[in-house]
Amino acid sequence: MHELAIAEGLVDGVTERLPGRKITSVRVEIGALSGVVPDALRFCFALATEGTPLDGADLEISEPAAKCECADCGLAFEPEDGRILLCPCGSANVAVVSGQQLLITSVKVA
């Protein structure tokens, strides 16, 4: 479960940027193609924050859809299945434009 390592990284990143500050909320953006399972991250975040300035903080997750572009027909589209990226025209010559991100978008301090 790599979500535990991600949760620990979130805690480390926030505490490094805001040392000694009590954090009440962390908002993250998890792209549909990031490979991160939001419910697993929520569970791991609760474990990783115990005994830290983030203990009891809320983890707010937004999950933007993936966006792709076909190099053959030029169509910009949202893939239906995040595992197999095929353009509606049938081409697999597809570039991911967004959807792989994992970003901290905001932090609330008490």
* CATH (domain of 44): 3.30.2320.50
Per-residue DSSP letter, 104: E
Report how many domains make up the chain. 1
Q: Is residue 57 part of a domain?
A: yes
pLDDT value, residue 1: 59
Convert the pLDDT of each residue in 44-54 to its tens digit.
999 999 999 99
- If one counts every other C-beta atom within 10 angstroms of the C-beta of residue 26, the result is 23
Model confidence pLDDT, tens digit, residues 15-72: 999 999 999 999 999 999 999 999 999 999 999 999 999 999 999 999 999 999 999 9
Q: What is the predicted pLDDT for the residue at 84? A: 75
Domain contains 82: no
Residue 47 lies in a domain: yes
Q: Is 36 among the domain residues?
A: yes
The answer, yes or no, to whether residue 81 has pLDDT greater than 90, is no
In a domain, 94, yes or no: no
| The pair of three-digit structure tokens given for residue 97, joined into one six-digit string | 């434009």
> Do residues 85 and 96 make contact, with C-beta atoms less than 8 angstroms apart?
yes
Q: What is the pLDDT of residue 43?
A: 96
Establish if 89 belongs to a structural domain: no
For 50, phi then psi, to 5°, come to -55, 130
Q: Shortest CA distance to 48 belongs to which of 8, 102, 104?
A: 8
Residue 80: inside a domain: no
